[in-house]
């Protein structure tokens, strides 16, 4: 039986699935190679410390960098959401909560102040409770 005959006997859905899996494996391999050169904002030592504290053991530094990259993305998303909450709050307050930047010569540039309420609202979207204990209030 030739390889053409064997290929013709494989259903098209299965061959398409095999092709898709090969493409995903190739893409994953390329991504892991890119992680060799990438230096995440979270230092490797910090990531190693926290991963060791939770019992994660792995010698592949690329996987650790991938976890650092995921943590960096998570923190970045929370910061962006908190900033949006601050912008909404300041716009609802009529701009009174914003302070003008000094030395801009009359330009309408203002600084948005991020409060704990903004951060708490953003964290609540991710299911994280950041309230202070009642005895501190």
Judged on CB neighbours under 10 Å (0-12, 13-18, 19+), 14 is exposed
- The answer to whether 105 touches 132, Cβ cutoff 8 Å, is no
Crossing angle, helix 61-92 and helix 116-125, to 10 degrees? Answer: 120
pLDDT at 99: 55
- pLDDT value for 2: 54
Please state the pTM of the whole predicted model: 0.66
Give the pLDDT score at 119.
93
Considering only residues 120 and 1, tell me which one the structure prediction assigns the higher pLDDT: 120
**Cα gap 59→108, rounded to integer Å:** 52
Q: Find how far residue 85's CA is from the centre of its chain.
A: 18
pLDDT, tens only, 62-110: 888 999 999 999 999 999 999 999 999 888 877 555 555 565 555 556 7
The string of pLDDT tens digits covering residues 19-48 is: 888 887 788 888 888 888 888 899 989 999
E strand map for the chain: 99-100, 110-111
Kindly state the helix (H) or strand (E) to which residue 78 belongs, with its residue range: helix 61-92
The answer to whether residues 32 and 62 touch, using CB atoms and an 8 Å cutoff, is yes
> Looking at residue 125, what DSSP letter applies?
H
For 45-55, what is the mean pLDDT?
Answer: 94
Residue 72 · residue 42 · CB < 8 Å = yes
pLDDT: which is higher, 58 or 99: 58
């Amino acid at each position: 039986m030739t390889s053409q005959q064997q290929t013709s006997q494989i259903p098209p859905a299965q061959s398409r699935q095999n092709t898709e899996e090969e493409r995903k494996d190739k893409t994953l391999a390329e991504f892991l190679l890119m992680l060799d050169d990438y230096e995440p904002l979270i230092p490797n030592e910090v990531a190693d410390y926290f991963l060791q504290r939770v019992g994660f053991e792995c010698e592949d530094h690329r996987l650790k960098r991938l976890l650092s990259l995921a943590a960096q993305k998570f923190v970045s998303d929370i910061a962006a959401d908190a900033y949006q909450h601050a912008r909404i709050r300041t716009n609802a307050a009529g701009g009174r909560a914003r302070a003008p930047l000094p030395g801009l010569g009359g330009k309408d540039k203002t600084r948005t102040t991020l409060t704990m309420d903004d951060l708490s609202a953003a964290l609540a979207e991710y299911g994280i409770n950041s309230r202070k204990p009642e005895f501190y209030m």
